[in-house]
Structure 1
Amino acid sequence: MTRSGPGPAATAVSRRSVLGGAVGGAALLALPSCSPTPSPAPEATAKDSAFGELDAKIEAGMQSYGIPGVAVGVLAGGQEYIKGYGVTNVDHPVPVDADTVFRIGSTTKTFTGTAMMRLVDDGTAELDAPVRRYLPDFAVADPAVGAEVTVRQLLNHTAGWLGDDLQDFGRGDDALARYVASMTRLPQLTPPGSVFAYNNAGLVVAGRIIEVVTGSTYEAAVQNLLLDPLELSRTRFFSDQIIGLNIAASHTVVDGKPVVDTGFWEFPRSCNPTGSLISSVRDQVRYARFHLGDGTAPDGLRLLSRQAVEAMRSDPGAGGTLQVELTGMGVTWMLRPSAENETIVQHGGTWSGQRSGFFLVPGRDFAMTALTNSEGGAQLLTDLFADDWALRRFAGIGNLPATPQVLGAGELAPYEGRYATQQVVETGSLESVVIDFVARDGRLHGTMSDGADPSTNPDENGGAQLGLAFYKADYGLDLGPDGTPVGTRSDFVRGDDGKIAWFRSHGRLYRRQ
């Protein structure tokens, strides 16, 4: 999987950035920003000052990271702040506003989870039921797993099989069914329920269950269960549904400047439950209000019980890291600890030239979402969603402490070596990536490359550089190109024998060789 942005995130495991859950160069041309909607109150309150600081942080990030357009929404202190910055497209510039649509990537997974919870709430589905209750023929490579894996394990990313299966099964209504039928090739990495590993394939299975239970396509079910009752009029699955709207084009960054990338339009329907939604920041703020609320829609219609809303962010599965440190996953929500013991409820999304972030702190009645139309958005999202600034400024909380340590060679030796993973790409072929770690200067330094010839020295073949500065046993801060921590986190997973078995980066497991 192509990854860009800070941390161990800069090499090709496939040809595009896709379906990650998260959260440089020369200055850009001057980009106009739209007026906030609504404007903050004229009196100089603490929150007004914070919104001004947010504007400055975003505008500086746009200049530094090559981002033409950003839309941000904040709910804090009883105020709503929604604003667009910059332009949709550097070739045909139109101002970004509250209704500009972006791909929200893997935040789509939380819509899949919320739709499933509507079915759980009305008694037509059950989280702890085996998948085969709804899909009797379901199978992966390990027959025992096919029989025992549960719906909850699909949604909290502990199903345990290889999760990055991005095959494209066409545009037909049978795309999800065909995808799920193909999953017998996916090897089992860990026992179900035991280890967190980000799993796109598991969410496709959940989407297929929604189809079977509702008797409709996945997209129609989510439209009926969520999008229409929540009045999300600019949130849709297909590009032909957004004709006439203000669309944020995708951009790559070349020599520090954004360049239009047509990748916005390409998305395999078979992966829709994992990341295909297109939405506006106004709609995302409305969605945030729903998840901070008691389960009712804007018109008062009850969509979920309060207990179901809270259940989505409770009972986390196995923890680990996915750019931030996680207590675990609830029902499709990343549950993140804070130093103040408030739970941060988070997701984010990645697609070609589209990077977004979304988090809530229910205990502080705070939510924030940001949508960007550039690969450079990854760095801005780290600044806003992985680092402490926004949490401290708006919600009064921060990350668990993480002071980078300088370790001795003997302390680093257990982590040195080669780690590898695979991914099924759109064509159905397997692509591999390997990481080689060595200890140097008290930290762990690595090179990421494809696995075409594991006998070669990746340092001699232009592999992407990465590294870790440990802050506690098995957990490290990712290092940037200059060798300093960048704010995101990765970790190592031990086997039953207590030895290092996996390296986990961006939620993916790399097996120790």
Structure 2
Amino acid sequence: MFLKSTAFISTLSLAALLSFNQALATPSHYATLSDNFGQYFHRELKSYKVPGGAFVIVEGNDVLKLDTYGKRDKNSNLAINADTVFRLASVSKTFAGTLAGMLVAEKKLDWQQPIVNYLPEFTLADPQSARQINLGHIIGHSTGLWPNSYDNLVNANIKIPKIIGKFEEITPMCNPGVCYGYQNVAFSFIQSAIEQQANQSYQEMLQTRIFDPLKMKSATLGFNAFQQTTNRAEPHVKTKSGFKQVKVKQNYYRLAPAAGVNASITDMSKWLIANLGQNPEVISTDLIKDLTTPGIKTTKELRRRDWRSHLDSAHYGKGWRVYEFEGRPLIYHAGWVAGYVAEISYSPELNIGMAMLLNGESRVVAKLSAEFWRDAFLTADRLDKKH
């Protein structure tokens, strides 16, 4: 029987789930679901006039469905293909959480270490409050800082060292670990800790610990790497007269852990497979469990328009959101940056995952993903009854 529990994550044995589902499920169980989603994806993107996109659905170590839609640039005839590179925006946080978690597992970092140990120039209106914020708070959005602190300055293209200096003006809204406040600037403080303990640049760490071992051949970090990629999807923003192509901005690329990764849908299939536990030599089951253990409650997520009828609880783990979707654990993250939308999610119980990348700003991804997981769990229930 498939697991349903309100204490869904704390009681999960990931290794047992993987073994159970590998024995129970085969790709054919979700083939119809995948094919139907492919048709729905094309229909909805066409309806919303999104310039282009791509999606992938995986089960265990297998790609069930990978498909693309539309153009890299609405003004050209270049079609998006499986290796077209998109910006991942905040889905980049899943990589940052994993890199930090690897160093914690290797005893090079500790989630309880104060961030000021690695970023001594960081302070708040009350310096003692700054010293109470640890690496776990940084990676789990429980710093106590006001949501999206100084994102306005990132949008204004202010350099990051100057933004860090502005934190001395902030009085937190709560003590660390007490309340949720989503961050981009503060989240990226984790880069200093990673680089100092790994003795590598953040980019080198990504390449040697994740991209290379998982054979994510198109994945890169940063603005320059994206601009040098020939097969890339250009950004489009929504206007009253439809989608308009815009230039790629550098601002959020300066926050590499929060929004710096570029990847194709083929790369995302490999990232999903690894997070389903299929590459334990790269991402161990213990690390996956650590990253997806629920941390701070994120009650605002329960009000998401396309998801609210399905979500029973929502938390943030370490670089991943942790949902309870109609009694089932679902690991999730989304990203949105000028001209791009990305989503990634997986069910450790069903042993399947999906990702979507768009080169046009549209909320259609939330509708698509919510309905995909509704249908996936309905499929699982039917399989359950047969057994």
Superposition TM-score, scaled by structure 2 size: 0.80
Of residues 300, 311, 328, the one that matches 2:290 is 311
> 2:343 maps to which residue?
357
> 1:249 maps to which residue?
234
> 2:99 maps to which residue?
115
Measured in 1, the distance between the counterparts of 2:229 and 2:93 equals: 26
> Is 1:345–2:341 an aligned residue pair?
no
Of residues 176, 183, 190, the one that matches 2:174 is 190
> Is 1:48–2:31 an aligned residue pair?
yes
> 1:147 maps to which residue?
131
Q: CA deviation at 1:256?
A: 5.6
Whether the 8 Å contact between 2:254 and 2:260 is mirrored in structure 1 is no
Partner amino acid for 2:361? Answer: E
Partner amino acid for 1:347? Answer: H
Q: CA deviation at 1:176?
A: 5.7
Of residues 159, 164, 168, the one that matches 2:149 is 164
Q: CA deviation at 1:185?
A: 2.9
Q: CA deviation at 1:266?
A: 2.8
Measured in 1, the distance between the counterparts of 2:346 and 2:149 equals: 27
Superposition TM-score, scaled by structure 1 size: 0.62
Q: Structure 1 residues 304 and 63, CA, compared in 2 at 3 Å: closer, same or farther?
A: closer
- RMSD of aligned C-alpha atoms? 2.6
Measured in 1, the distance between the counterparts of 2:229 and 2:122 equals: 40
Measured in 2, the distance between the counterparts of 1:108 and 1:211 equals: 17
Q: CA deviation at 1:231?
A: 1.8
Q: Describe how 1:80-479 pairs up with structure 2 within 5 A.
A: 80-162=64-146, 163-166=148-151, 167=153, 179-242=163-226, 243-255=228-240, 257-262=242-247, 264-293=248-277, 295-296=279-280, 302-322=281-301, 323=304, 326-339=313-326, 341-376=327-362, 378=363, 380-385=364-369, 387=370, 389-396=371-378
Partner amino acid for 2:125? Answer: A
Partner amino acid for 2:300? Answer: T
Measured in 2, the distance between the counterparts of 1:178 and 1:229 equals: 36
Q: Structure 1 residues 256 and 393, CA, compared in 2 at 3 Å: closer, same or farther?
A: farther
Measured in 2, the distance between the counterparts of 1:356 and 1:315 equals: 22
> 1:435 maps to which residue?
none
Partner amino acid for 2:336? Answer: T
Q: CA deviation at 1:157?
A: 0.8
> 1:439 maps to which residue?
none
Q: Structure 1 residues 241 and 135, CA, compared in 2 at 3 Å: closer, same or farther?
A: closer
Q: Structure 1 residues 367 and 335, CA, compared in 2 at 3 Å: closer, same or farther?
A: same
Whether the 8 Å contact between 1:100 and 1:246 is mirrored in structure 2 is yes
1:342-394 C-alpha deviation (Å, 9 max, x unpaired): 21100010011101111011111010000001112x2x112122x3x201323
Partner amino acid for 1:260? Answer: Q
Partner amino acid for 1:354? Answer: Y
**Partner SS, residue 145 of structure 1:** helix
Q: CA deviation at 1:178?
A: 5.6
Deviant stretches of 4+, over 6 Å: none
Q: CA deviation at 1:177?
A: 5.6
User: Identity over the aligned pairs, expressed in percent?
Assistant: 19
Unaligned runs of 5+ in 2: 1-26, 381-387
Q: CA deviation at 1:213?
A: 1.8
Q: CA deviation at 1:338?
A: 1.9
**Partner SS, residue 300 of structure 2:** strand
Whether the 8 Å contact between 2:333 and 2:345 is mirrored in structure 1 is yes
Unaligned runs of 5+ in 1: 1-43, 297-301, 399-513
Q: Structure 1 residues 104 and 244, CA, compared in 2 at 3 Å: closer, same or farther?
A: closer
* Further displaced range: 366-375 or 179-188: 179-188
Whether the 8 Å contact between 1:294 and 1:306 is mirrored in structure 2 is no
Measured in 2, the distance between the counterparts of 1:251 and 1:288 equals: 26
Whether the 8 Å contact between 2:276 and 2:348 is mirrored in structure 1 is yes
Higher-Rg structure is 1
Measured in 2, the distance between the counterparts of 1:228 and 1:363 equals: 28
Q: CA deviation at 1:265?
A: 4.1
Select the structure that is richer in helix: 2
Partner amino acid for 1:316? Answer: G
**Partner SS, residue 274 of structure 1:** helix
Whether the 8 Å contact between 1:336 and 1:344 is mirrored in structure 2 is yes
Measured in 2, the distance between the counterparts of 1:164 and 1:219 equals: 25
| Count of residues in correspondence between the two structures | 341
Q: CA deviation at 1:271?
A: 1.6
Q: Structure 1 residues 64 and 76, CA, compared in 2 at 3 Å: closer, same or farther?
A: same
